[in-house]
Amino acid sequence: MASASLLKTSPVINKTDFIKGQPLRQVSVVRCHPSPPSGITVRASSYADELVKTAKTIASPGRGILAMDESNATCGKRLDSIGLDNTEANRQAYRTLLVSAPGLGKYISGAILFEETLYQSTVDGKKIVDVLLGQNIVPGIKVDKGLVPLAGSNNESWCQGLDGLASRSAAYYQQGARFAKWRTVVSIPNGPSALAVKEAAWGLARYAAISQDNGLVPIVEPEILLDGEHNIDRTFEVAQKVWAEVFFYLAENNVMFEGILLKPSMVTPGAECKERATPAQVADYTLKLLHRRIPPAFLSGGQSEVEATLNLNAMNQSLNPWHVSFSYARALQNTCLKTWGGRPENVQAAQEALLTRASANSLAQLGKYTGEGESEEAKKGMFVKGYTY
């Protein structure tokens, strides 16, 4: 979807800055090296060096992020789609399938976990965190407490979870997490109102500062929802405003830019817009947004598996100064989940389906994806109106 920033200096990211294979690193991508605005003192926490190292590991060339941080309720919906009950045992079995796929670390650098998963073991008793580290995958954690109605707005939402975040983040770090996710959203059909944009930006900045103070690299992600009939120009316009607010408040909160990961949504038309955009158009608008703001990011967005990969590939075939990677949930898991169907005998085939999608996006991150041999299932759209985690 889109990204924009208020900072006057747009630092250029040198791809050689992303060191492959270092333990713990950037959430698939946007590393920032801007000089702080005049008058701003940027705090360097005791974790400063580790934060940069973590960011670099996550932004390894050819690798991206597997988002498997669905809440138990949302995970239950996924399980229900294949006829399984939402039990801890079934959630454990599915998560085991994902993290233990042989060779997953070749394509995936970080995995965002739900709190239950961070403390969970696989079906054969190994800690999920240890399984990920064994694959050179950095464990991450979703730290927000969900969306609630924003009083005084146009039926918009704000993200709760700042209360107690410092103590939770410290505990997550001790458990092995090294980066964090905070999901806040902006709705174009509902405005967005100035109040909602400011609330989203301020919340992200406070979360980012608290995360860094506790050793976690924050993914900075103001998600611009796909819902709506608006065209791609309207998405671009809103994205610029949102990212301008976000970077202003990041600076106000003394966030260390070298230790964050930017995750802008791809700039696309609303899901119900009759005028669709080609991968080349999505790439052009998204890169234009990044050029007008600040560096690289993981891209996401409710598209079909193939569509998400094609759009990422088009961006990386264009000349740009960023390390543009991916952070996908359903775009990596959809075919995998349906192939598994809750049957033990299908685990290997499901893991192969996951690796196929991960490999395709690895190639797209390098601008080498062709789209040949994709299944019809992978081409199906996955947009859900009013989708919640």
The set of long-range contacts for 146-149, using a CB threshold of 8 Å and a minimum separation of 24, is 146/71, 146/389, 147/183, 147/184, 147/185, 147/388
CA dihedral (297, 303, 309, 315) positive or negative: negative
Q: What whole-number distance in Å separates Cα of residue 354 and Cα of residue 104?
A: 8
- For residue 17, give Cα distances in angstroms to 42, 139, 327: 21, 22, 20
Task: Report yes or no: 303 and 277 within 8 Å, Cβ to Cβ.
Answer: no
Q: Determine which one of 70, 199, 221, 307 is catalytic.
A: 221
Question: Which tokens belong to 217?
Answer: 């690299």
How many Å apart are CA 110 and CA 132, to the nearest integer?
Answer: 8
Whether the CA torsion 239, 311, 300, 7 is positive or negative: it is: negative
Which phi and psi (to 5°) does residue 217 adopt? -75, 120
Q: How far is CA 2 from the centre of its chain?
A: 13
Say which of 263, 305, 307, 374 is annotated catalytic: 263
Which amino acid is located at 297 in the chain?
A
Is 263 catalytic? The answer is yes
Omega within 30 of 0 (cis) for the link into 36: no
Q: Does residue 50 have an active-site annotation?
A: no
Instruction: List the catalytic residues.
Output: 221, 263
